[in-house]
Amino acid sequence: MGNLLDFFSSPIAISAMLGWILAQLIKLPVSLIRTKKWDWALLINAGGMPSSHSALMSAVSTAIGLAQGWDSPLFILALSITGIVIYDATGVRRQAGFQAERINQMLRTFISERKIPETEMEYLREIIGHSPLEAAVGTLLGISIALVVWLVMV
C-alpha cells in the first residue's frame, strides 16, 4: 500500500494527472464560448482546445527534467516521446479527422441522392486531432503545471 501512496505523492505523477485533467476541464468553457452549448463528451474525447495529450506529456517531461536533470537519459526519452505524441496529434490524427470530414460529406451526398439508405450509415468522428495552436497551448499548460507542482511540492 505504501507504493501506491508514493505514486500520489510524486511531483511527476501529480504533474501528469493535473496536466491531463486540467486540459480536459478547460475544453468545456472553451467549447461553450465557441458553440454556446455545453459538450460534456469533451471530458473524455480527444481533440479540442487545449490538447490534453500535449499537456500531459509536456507536464511529465518537464517534471522529469526538474527531478532528474535536463541532461538525464530519462528526460531525453520523455522529451522524445512527447515530440512523437505532439507530432501525431497535429499530423496523423489531424489528417485522419480531415479525411473523416470528407467521407461524411460524401455519405451525406449519397444519402440525399438516395443512393444509400441513411439507416445503414454510421458517420465517422471528425475531430480527433489538434491544430498547432491547440497543441502549443496544451504544451504551455503542461509545462506551467509541472513548474507550479514542483514549486509547491519540492
Per-residue confidence of the chain (154 residues) as pLDDT tens digits? 567 777 888 999 999 999 999 999 998 888 888 888 888 877 777 777 899 999 999 999 999 999 999 999 999 999 999 999 988 888 776 667 677 778 778 877 777 777 666 666 676 566 666 788 889 999 999 999 999 999 998 7
Residue 123: predicted pLDDT: 65
Cis peptide before 132 (omega within 30 of 0): no
Cell digits for 136?
502549443
pLDDT value of residue 11: 94
- What residue ranges do the domains of the chain occupy? 2-91+129-153
Give the pLDDT confidence score for residue 89 in this predicted structure.
82
Per-residue CA distances from 88 to 47, 66, 95, 105, 112 (Å) = 12, 25, 10, 24, 34
Rounded (5°) CA angle 87-90-95: 115
Amino acid identity at 94: R
Smallest CA-to-CA distance from 60 within 149, 153, 142 is with 142
Sign of the dihedral defined by the CA atoms of residues 113, 118, 124, 126, in that order: positive
Q: What is the per-residue pLDDT for 1? A: 53
pLDDT of residue 25: 93
